[in-house]
């Protein structure tokens, strides 16, 4: 999933705007729920602590649970009188937590497997890469659903399932990079000087590919966040009352006949995040790879 733009200036622009959006999203995820909490009325604070955080300061006698945008709740409330902004912020938290943990685990596993897939003895190397290829070919969402059906529902199983689907592509990328870099003259020279494989990989090879890996994992992060939202939308990911963008879209869909506006916000947040991550990843790749920059 990559957005190609041949124009380097456009790429840099995409990188800047994408990065700016991501910084805002991060701040929103960290501070959004807090602001909401501070604004709660005393009445709301007395309510069950589990749902209190998401409840807006509202007119309790109003018959419709949906408050329009622009009142005490900036974007209005949903069918259970919960503040949309607060839920979006919590959802951002969930998406980023899941996304970043998955990428971290996938990078660790992927780098290890990728390096072993090139440098380990043949009887380890071949089955390992075959296994990686097999996992890579399998559709991510199907594998994730398979794992969730075994591991159960909730945030932990989602992180586990998505990590299992995310590492093979990173392992393949690392393997292809290591395979070309290990024959470079400076690596061969270091080897001739008596450097161990571990030293070669950590000092000479991995530093060379951090840029590409970072760019790649940004684009992959978009896929992870999308997959998390998909699982939550299907009701087999993050479970209510914990808000998530996918869960919000699912909830809003059920009230589509009476109140379709609610669909806009989580859909917009999710789409914008995915676009921003793609732009940033693409921009970073252009920076990391000089050949791409000149092309």
Partner 1 sequence: MQLARALATRFLLGLLSLLFISFVTFLADEIQPGDAATVLAGEKASAETIERLRENLGLNRPWPIRYVEFVSKAVRGDFGTSYYGVKEPVGQLVGRNVTMTITIASCAILLASAIGIFLGTLAAVWQNKPPDQGILFVSTFGVTLPNFVLAPILAYFFALQWDVLPLTWSVDRVAPDYYYLILPVIVLAMRPTALLTRLTRASMVETLRQEFIRTAIAKGVPPFRMYVKHALRNAILPVITAIGTSFGFLLTGSFVVETYFLLPGLGSTTIDAIRKGDIPVVQACVMLTGAIFIVLNLFVDLILPILDPRIRESQV
Of 176, 178, 171, 143, which Cα lies nearest the Cα of 158?
Answer: 143
The answer to whether 184 contacts partner 1 (rule: CB under 8 A) is no
Q: What angle do CA 225, 166, 180 make, to 5 degrees?
A: 130
Q: What are phi and psi of 82, to 5 degrees?
A: -95, 140
* Helices (H) then strands (E): counts for the chain: 13, 0
| Alpha-carbon distances of 136 from 105, 115, 173, 245, rounded to whole Å | 16, 17, 11, 27
Nearer to partner 1, 55 or 217 (CB): 217
- The Cα 134–Cα 143 span in angstroms is 12
Contacts of 180 (CB under 8 A, 6+ apart): none
Q: Hey, which residues between 129 and 158 contact partner 1 (CB under 8 A)? A: 130, 134, 137-139, 141-142, 145-153
Q: Hey, which residues between 203 and 232 contact partner 1 (CB under 8 A)? A: 222, 226, 229-230
Q: Could you tell me the smallest distance in angstroms from the CB atom of residue 257 to partner 1?
A: 7
Q: Could you tell me the smallest distance in angstroms from the CB atom of residue 146 to partner 1?
A: 5
Nearer to partner 1, 57 or 143 (CB): 143
Q: Could you tell me the smallest distance in angstroms from the CB atom of residue 288 to partner 1?
A: 22
Note the residues at the interface with partner 1 (CB under 8 A): 1, 3-4, 130, 134, 137-139, 141-142, 145-153, 222, 226, 229-230, 233-236, 246, 249-250, 252-253, 256-257, 260, 263, 267, 270-271, 274-275, 278
């Amino acid at each position: 999933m990559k957005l190609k733009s041949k124009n380097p200036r456009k790429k840099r622009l995409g990188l800047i705007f994408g990065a700016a959006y991501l910084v805002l999203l991060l701040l929103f995820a960290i501070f959004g729920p807090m602001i909401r909490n501070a604004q709660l009325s005393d009445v709301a604070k007395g309510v069950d602590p589990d749902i209190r955080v998401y409840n807006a300061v509202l007119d309790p006698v109003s018959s419709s649970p949906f408050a329009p945008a622009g009142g005490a709740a900036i974007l209005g409330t949903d069918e259970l009188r919960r503040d949309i902004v607060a839920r979006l912020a919590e959802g951002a938290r969930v998406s980023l937590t899941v996304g970043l943990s998955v990428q971290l685990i996938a990078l660790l596993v992927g780098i290890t497997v990728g390096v072993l897939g090139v440098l380990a003895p043949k009887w380890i190397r071949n089955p390992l890469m075959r296994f990686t290829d097999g996992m890579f070919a399998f559709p991510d969402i199907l594998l994730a659903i398979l794992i969730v059906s075994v591991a159960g529902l909730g945030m932990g199983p989602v992180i586990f399932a998505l990590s299992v689907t995310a590492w093979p592509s990173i392992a393949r990328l690392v393997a292809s990079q290591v395979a070309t870099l290990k024959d470079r003259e400076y690596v061969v020279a270091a080897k001739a000087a008596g450097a161990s494989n571990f030293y070669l990989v950590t000092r000479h090879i991995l530093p060379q590919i951090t840029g590409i890996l970072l760019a790649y994992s940004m684009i992959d992060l978009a896929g992870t966040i999308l997959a998390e939202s998909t699982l939550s939308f299907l009701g087999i990911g993050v479970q209510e009352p914990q808000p998530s963008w996918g869960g919000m879209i699912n909830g809003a869909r059920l009230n589509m006949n009476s109140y379709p506006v609610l669909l806009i916000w989580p859909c917009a947040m999710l789409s914008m995040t995915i676009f921003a991550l793609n732009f940033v990843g693409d921009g970073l790749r252009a920076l990391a790879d000089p050949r791409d920059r000149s092309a």
